[in-house]
């Protein structure tokens, strides 16, 4: 292919990829499979590598990230990026409307929108191409985070339609709840501190220096305000409609994410609706924004030094209760992380009884200046996790019961260590500290790891207290008579445990590697390591340079793996597990191919020939992806017995093909 032909092909692929990206991430209505999209993207990447001078700064290949930013430059906003004035009562909103009526004689229209709990962003487009993205900053200047924002797939890199030659669009970047929960589950798996809430996580993500990591976080956005010297419409609502036509993800009236009203009653109806319905949204909001619709009216109303007079934010009240801090427990996790937990006088909050609240770490305790017996204010952080947000100092007694973070492990007495840059303190006695030992064994036997039936946390406690196990390898040396001696252990239970341990010898290498519990090696990372190195011996001998060649393996994970296998005690456990027949090599599946590449499956119900986990592995081994819930992006629902009627109805409503277990196997055989 010569250069001219390459230029034409790059143009064709770019146009097609931008079109399909818009259909998938903005319209939720894909026309091609993920596999077809990825193949087109690979073709474009290959051409750009072959002809680097033809690669465009806004190429779809920029979506995957990879650029490293050492410093975010401060850039002055062309249009001041002011904050909105906030109100916390409907009376304040009514007063705001009445003040506007004193200035505007004509009939007023208002646009009601959601107040997304994310990060404000302003993006400039020149001749329909993404040019620059700035944070709010101080409202006068913001940080240039262009490279990171380009990885967000719901934000277009090039536009279509009749757009101004130079304009800025503003909106909010946020982390969907599903992405936040998935990220925290991954961090929990690898022994890292979980993030507090989606908003702070989104903000931190946008400041990451490695744009590839940003791309992996699955941030999303809504854009809803156009600023330009080339104004062709007279109202805010018209500009949003136009932005949607140009390719932006904008709030839709059909989903009631935005609504035009002409009365206080209309505004209050929108506020009341979302105060009740916000719990059903897949992202967080903290209120509603009301704007005067007419640009002419906005101009008449003008600005204050800090905010526009033509807009106001109504913030939902965060439910807060007051209760007594009775005591603080310091829990030791399987990685040695020490987590302080507050014990509270039980109180009703958000429909549930709250008795405990996380205090996160020593810094949080110090910041709150907590004392035993304090009357504390408790909220639900991110609508999910109870947290202490303050102290009622007026009720504090004179007795000094200040809570001081521990200096030694509460379980084994080992001095705690806090590494520079770490938020948490750790107990380093990982081989002998009882909660760590038991936690590692519980992790090893878990459903996503060795999946040993008959064993649970209570049984692990019994085994530990009776000095029968001190590490995972000890499980494979348990005898029937040993188990029968345990309190409340019957013959049937003992047999089930031994059968479960024996069956775990067939668990594949990637799950065994996850089960071992190397810090920072979660389920996904374990799978990539197992497929790359094939055997535990090759992995144990891998150098730092070899490890970081593996996809998703950074410096921290690589060093953690090396540190783990440098300890003779850990190698001794591996040797013992090998002797007992545990799988430490990748076994090529009889049915392993790329047959299902590009297809997303949801699995539901009970199956005959395979367990649900085996069905999942079968699909993944053949290139398919697993999703937990049905959406327009689902390609197939694999349905077993006793599947929930709601899931079945949703699949039928969306036209998702439904496969039985036999039909899935037939699909694999026919395409093998």
Instruction: Name the pTM for this structure.
Output: 0.65
pLDDT number for residue 130: 96
The 3-class secondary structure across 128-170, one letter per residue, is: CEEEEEEECCCCCEEEECHHHHCCCCCCCCECCCCCCCEEEEE
pLDDT number for residue 590: 42
Mean pLDDT, the chain, as a whole number? Answer: 90
SS3 label, residue 220: strand
pLDDT number for residue 592: 65
Q: Is the pLDDT of residue 160 over 70?
A: yes
pLDDT number for residue 672: 60
CA dist 35 and 596 (Å) reads 9
CA dist 18 and 158 (Å) reads 7
Beta strands across the sheet bearing 625-627 = 625-627, 600-604, 636-639, 658-659
The stretches of 278-410 forming alpha helices (DSSP H) are: 295-301, 362-368
Q: Is the pLDDT of residue 254 over 90?
A: yes
φ/ψ (deg, to 5) at 398: -85, -15
**Which one, of 504, 553, 497, lies nearest residue 530 by Cα?**
553
What is the pLDDT confidence band of residue 68, given thresholds at 50, 70 and 90? low
Q: Find the mean pLDDT for residues 10-18.
A: 92
Sequence-distant (≥ 6) Cβ neighbours of residue 420 within 8 angstroms: none
What is the pLDDT confidence band of residue 527, given thresholds at 50, 70 and 90? confident
What is the pLDDT confidence band of residue 34, given thresholds at 50, 70 and 90? low
Q: Is the pLDDT of residue 96 over 90?
A: yes
Q: Find the mean pLDDT for residues 486-492.
A: 91
Sequence-distant (≥ 6) Cβ neighbours of residue 389 within 8 angstroms: 320, 377, 378, 379
Q: Give residue-wise pLDDT tens across range 605-625.
A: 877 667 677 788 889 888 888
CA distances from 367 to 328, 362, 371, 424, 617 (A): 16, 9, 12, 15, 46
Task: Supply angle C-alpha 213, 216, 219, rounded to 5.
Answer: 105
Q: Give residue-wise pLDDT tens across range 192-241.
A: 777 878 988 999 999 998 888 899 899 999 999 999 988 789 999 999 99
pLDDT number for residue 383: 46
Of 36-45, 146-155, 233-242, the range with the lowest mean pLDDT is 36-45
- Which single residue is written with the structure tokens 């850990």? 570
Sequence-distant (≥ 6) Cβ neighbours of residue 141 within 8 angstroms: 74, 75, 76, 77
CA dist 635 and 619 (Å) reads 13
CA distances from 236 to 61, 240, 498 (A): 33, 6, 68
**Which one, of 242, 222, 116, lies nearest residue 167 by Cα?**
242
Of 53-62, 182-191, 430-439, 462-471, the range with the lowest mean pLDDT is 182-191
* Residues paired with 313 in a beta bridge: 86, 289
Q: Find the mean pLDDT for residues 157-173.
A: 95
pLDDT number for residue 381: 56
So which residues are the catalytic ones? 115
pLDDT number for residue 384: 59
Instruction: Count the neighbouring beta carbons within 10 Å of the beta carbon of residue 523.
Output: 17
CA distances from 330 to 51, 222, 406, 626 (A): 58, 41, 8, 37
Q: Find the mean pLDDT for residues 59-64.
A: 83
SS3 label, residue 212: helix
Q: Find the mean pLDDT for residues 640-662.
A: 84
pLDDT number for residue 185: 80
């Amino acid at each position: 292919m010569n250069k001219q032909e390459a230029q034409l092909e790059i143009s064709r692929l770019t146009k097609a990829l931008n079109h399909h990206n818009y259909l998938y991430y903005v319209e939720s209505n894909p026309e091609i499979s993920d596999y077809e999209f990825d193949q087109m993207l690979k073709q474009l990447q290959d051409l750009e590598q072959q002809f680097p001078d033809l690669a465009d700064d806004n190429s779809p290949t920029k979506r995957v990230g990879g650029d490293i930013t050492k410093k975010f430059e401060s850039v002055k906003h062309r249009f001041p990026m002011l904050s909105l004035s906030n109100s916390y009562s409907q009376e304040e909103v009514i007063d705001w409307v009445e003040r506007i009526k004193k200035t505007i004689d004509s009939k007023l229209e208002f646009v009601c929108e959601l107040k997304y709990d994310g990060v404000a962003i302003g993006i400039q487009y020149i001749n329909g191409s993404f040019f620059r993205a700035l944070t709010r900053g101080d409202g006068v200047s913001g940080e240039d985070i262009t490279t990171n924002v380009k990885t967000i797939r719901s934000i277009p890199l090039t536009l279509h339609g009749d757009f101004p030659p130079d304009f800025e669009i503003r909106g909010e970047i946020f982390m969907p709840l599903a992405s936040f929960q998935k990220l925290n589950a991954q961090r929990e798996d690898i022994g890292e501190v979980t993030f507090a809430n989606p908003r702070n996580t989104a903000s931190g993500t946008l400041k990451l220096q490695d744009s590839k990591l940003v791309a992996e976080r699955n941030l999303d956005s809504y854009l809803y305000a156009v600023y330009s010297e080339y104004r062709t419409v007279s109202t805010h609502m018209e500009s949003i409609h136009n932005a949607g036509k140009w390719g932006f993800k904008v709030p839709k009236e059909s989903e009631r994410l935005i609504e035009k009203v002409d009365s206080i009653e209309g505004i209050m109806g929108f506020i009341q609706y979302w105060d009740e319905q916000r719990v059903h949204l897949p992202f967080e909001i903290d209120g509603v924004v009301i704007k005067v619709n007419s640009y002419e009216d906005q101009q008449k109303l003008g600005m204050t030094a800090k905010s526009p007079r033509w807009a106001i934010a109504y913030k939902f009240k965060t439910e807060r209760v007051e209760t007594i801090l009775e005591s603080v427990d310091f829990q030791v996790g399987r990685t040695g992380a020490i987590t302080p937990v507050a014990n509270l006088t039980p109180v009703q909050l958000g429909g549930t009884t709250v008795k405990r609240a996380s205090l996160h770490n020593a810094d949080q305790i110090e910041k709150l200046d907590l004392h035993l017996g304090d009357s504390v204010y408790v909220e639900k952080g991110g609508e999910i996790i109870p947290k202490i947000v303050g102290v009622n100092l007026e009720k504090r007694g004179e007795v000094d019961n200040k809570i001081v973070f521990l200096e030694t492990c509460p379980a084994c007495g080992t001095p705690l260590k806090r590494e520079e840059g770490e938020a948490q303190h750790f107990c380093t006695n990982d081989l002998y500290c009882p909660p760590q030992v038991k936690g590692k064994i519980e992790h090893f036997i878990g459903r996503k790891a060795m999946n040993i039936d008959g064993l649970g946390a209570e049984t692990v406690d019994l085994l530990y207290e009776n000095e029968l196990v001190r590490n995972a390898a000890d499980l494979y040396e348990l005898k029937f008579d040993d188990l029968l001696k345990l309190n409340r252990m019957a013959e049937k239970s003992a047999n089930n445990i031994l059968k479960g341990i024996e069956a775990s010898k067939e668990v594949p290498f990637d799950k065994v590697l996850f089960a071992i519990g190397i810090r920072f090696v979660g389920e996904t990372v374990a799978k990539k390591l197992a497929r790359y190195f094939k055997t535990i011996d090759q992995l144990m001998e891998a150098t730092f340079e070899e490890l970081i060649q593996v996809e998703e393996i950074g410096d921290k994970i690589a060093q953690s793996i090396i540190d783990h296998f440098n300890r003779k005690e850990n190698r001794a456990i591996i040797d013992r597990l090998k002797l007992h027949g545990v799988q430490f090599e990748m076994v090529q599946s009889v049915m392993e191919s790329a047959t299902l590449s590009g297809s997303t499956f949801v699995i539901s119900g009970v199956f005959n020939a395979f367990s649900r986990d085996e069905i999942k592995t079968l699909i993944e081994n053949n290139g398919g992806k697993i999703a937990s819930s049905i959406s327009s992006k689902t390609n197939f629902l694999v349905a077993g017995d006793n599947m929930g009627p709601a899931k079945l109805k949703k699949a039928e409503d969306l036209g998702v093909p439904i496969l039985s277990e036999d039909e899935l196997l037939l699909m694999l055989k026919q395409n093998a």
